Amino acid sequence: MTVPSGAAVGFPITRLRRLRYLPAMRGLVRAVHLQPQSLVYPLFVRHGRGIKQEIASMPGQFQWSLDRLEEELAGLAGLGLGGVMLFGIPATKDATGSEAYDEEGIVAQAVRLARRVAPELLVITDVCCCEYTDHGHCGILAERGDRCDVDNDATLELLARQAVCHARAGAHMVAPSGMMDGMVAAIRRGLDAAGLSDVPIMSYAAKYASAFYGPFREAAESAPQRGDRRGYQMDPAAPAGQALREVELDLAEGADLVMVKPALAYLDIIRLVAERFPGVPLAAYNVSGEYSMVKGAAARGWLDERSVVLEMLTGIVRAGAQIVLTYWAKQVVHWLQP
Ligand code: PBG
């Protein structure tokens, strides 16, 4: 006898609405559960004192100076979040982004602060050059005849130094986001040589050249001064399988977790990576533009923010992401409380 699948039986025996009438019944058969410990909250830190400067294109998100960040971290500590992701705005920018690997750089200081005031909070740092370079690109620039491009291999050394700097300051995990070939291997080697072999790497493995990063570039003051990032970030119209190659290579280089970014226009990529690499923790970045467009519509009364956000995050998790980086992390914790 074959076991009947739900699909084999039709109406009127099968009535899918039976499981939808009661809230408790819907709850019972739910498969996707948002939980605070799967959410990572991005934070922007800068030098100075008394600064909690709202980012115009991201209402409710701020650039923090360390003294104000301290209060924020203390408030975050008890929420049960998966962690925070730190982005730094340096005091000065130069061609090689030297503050990025300075022990007194803003991120290193913020990491030490976080470890002191919120010891139970997982601290992740973004490892990239774009916030630190005066030209705003994710690596060192090389002039190549008629084009000006990021020098992949020369950038690797800087990324490794930055990761080591963050990990020495106490970062629990580093997250390279520059889409340089070989970045994970270079960082792994750097960390291991520094005696930091226990620090995992979350690679922004499949990161697309996206217009949805617009508001972030205001937040992190990291817009490229000329050109764009299409020479290193992925083409949205590339074959989906290219994302699998990126993930595969990063894993071979020693990535412990991988990320797909942005999330909403790339749910197919999330699903593909989740299915192909079921044993690898997968994160998705619900990026700044995804935040701003909902905020903008909600402010005009066009959308109900809470419902829309919970639905979007549910979709990202249902697609296969276990971890979601989102500017709503803090608010979601409150929304999820019964
Ligand atoms: C740095 C970086 C970016 C984001 C995360 N890390 C910007 C970019 O690549 O231009 C975007 C995050 C967001 O939009 O929320 N390379």
What domains does the chain contain, in order, with CATH numbers? Answer: 33-336 (3.20.20.70)
pLDDT of residue 158: 97
Give, for ligand 1, the residue of 124, 128, 180 to mutate: max count of ligand atoms closer than 8 Å to Cβ. Answer: 128
Does residue 261 have an active-site annotation?
yes
Is 290 near ligand 1, meaning CB less than 6 Å away? Answer: no
Is 40 near ligand 1, meaning CB less than 6 Å away? Answer: no
**Is there a contact between 35 and 323 (Cβ–Cβ < 8 Å)?**
no
C-alpha 214 to ligand 1 mean position (Å): 9
pLDDT, averaged in runs of 10, over the chain (338 residues) = 65 97 98 98 98 98 98 96 98 92 97 97 96 92 77 96 98 97 98 98 98 94 90 97 98 98 98 98 98 98 98 98 98 94
pLDDT of residue 269: 98
Short-list 216, 330, 322, 337, CA closest to 260 = 322
Is 64 near ligand 1, meaning CB less than 6 Å away? Answer: no
C-alpha 42 to ligand 1 mean position (Å): 11
Q: Cα–Cα distances in Å, from 93 out to 129, 134, 137, 151, 293? A: 10, 5, 11, 18, 30
C-alpha 324 to ligand 1 mean position (Å): 15
pLDDT of residue 149: 85
Give, for ligand 1, the residue of 135, 155, 216 to mutate: max count of ligand atoms closer than 8 Å to Cβ. Answer: 216
Close Cβ partners of 19 (under 8 Å, ≥ 6 residues apart) = 25, 26, 29
pLDDT of residue 145: 66
pLDDT of residue 146: 63
pTM above 0.85, yes or no: yes
Is 43 near ligand 1, meaning CB less than 6 Å away? Answer: no
C-alpha 330 to ligand 1 mean position (Å): 20
Q: Cα–Cα distances in Å, from 247 out to 4, 50, 279, 316? A: 38, 41, 13, 18
Residue whose Cα lies nearest atom 10 of ligand 1: it is: 213
Does residue 207 have an active-site annotation?
yes
How many helices (H) and strands (E) are present in the chain, helices listed first? 11, 12
- Whether residue 23 has a cis bond before it, omega within 30° of 0: no
268-293 burial, b at 16+ Cβ within 10 Å, e below that, comes to: ebbbbbbeebeebebbbbbbbbbbbe
235-252 burial, b at 16+ Cβ within 10 Å, e below that, comes to: eeeeeeeebbebbbbbbe
Q: What is the dihedral sign for C-alpha 123, 54, 258, 224?
A: negative
Ligand 1 atom closest to the Cα of residue 179 is: 16
C-alpha 28 to ligand 1 mean position (Å): 38
Give CA torsion, residues 276, 278, 279, 281, to 10 deg.
100
Q: Write down the residue that tokens 């019972």 correspond to.
A: 28
H/E run at residue 53? strand 52-55
Alpha helix locations (H) across the chain? Answer: 23-28, 66-77, 106-117, 152-169, 183-193, 214-219, 241-253, 267-276, 288-299, 305-319, 329-336
Ligand 1 atom closest to the Cα of residue 214 is: 14
Is 41 near ligand 1, meaning CB less than 6 Å away? Answer: no
C-alpha 178 to ligand 1 mean position (Å): 9
